[in-house]
């Protein structure tokens, strides 16, 4: 009986890397793409909004994502805007460690306004020893809530 249990434990340990659990990241783990736009982003819980005093127009916000392996990645960003004037448009970027982009999803914008919506990004590819991040263009009073992805 002991050897059967040991065999099951060894098999489970061998298969574990093949089953990648999804991960989530709050928007507050990101930062403005341009440091001078930092005061434009406000945090509510872990959500981020473009709405600081004296700010207007669209601002760029990036969220780094920890990956476990190279390959294609699908990323889901939960975002919201009350109207088309408060839109959020995101893309996922897989890059070489020198910063050169390799696989970039198309930029996808909210198509429904009011409650939070999921923006699905397909097409990012992370090379070996590369990294992944999400870039969102956030209109005034638009919100980025969270990111879900498979590492």
Which pLDDT score, from 0 to 100, does residue 16 have? 43
For 96-118, the pLDDT digits (tens) are 999 888 889 999 999 999 999 99
How confident is the prediction for the chain on average, in pLDDT?
A: 89
Which pLDDT score, from 0 to 100, does residue 148 have? 97
pTM for the complete prediction?
0.84
pLDDT band per the 50, 70, 90 thresholds, residue 9: very low
Question: Superfamily for 21-149?
Answer: Galactose-binding domain-like (2.60.120.260)
At residue 18, does pLDDT exceed 60?
no
Find out whether 86 and 140 touch, Cβ atoms under 8 Å: yes
């Amino acid at each position: 009986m002991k050897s059967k249990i040991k065999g099951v434990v060894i098999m489970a340990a061998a298969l574990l890397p093949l089953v990648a659990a999804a991960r989530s990241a709050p928007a507050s783990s990101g930062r403005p793409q341009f440091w001078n736009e930092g005061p434009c982003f406000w945090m509510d819980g872990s959500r981020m909004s473009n709405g600081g005093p004296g700010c207007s127009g669209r601002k760029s916000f990036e969220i780094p994502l920890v990956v476990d392996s190279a390959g294609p990645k699908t990323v889901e960003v939960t975002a919201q805007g009350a109207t088309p004037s408060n839109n959020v448009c995101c893309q996922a970027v897989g890059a070489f460690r020198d910063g050169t982009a390799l696989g970039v999803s198309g930029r996808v914008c909210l198509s429904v306004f009011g409650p939070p919506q999921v923006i699905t990004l397909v097409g990012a590819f992370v090379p070996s020893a590369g990294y992944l991040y999400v870039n969102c263009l956030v209109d005034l009073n638009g919100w980025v809530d969270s990111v879900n992805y498979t590492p």
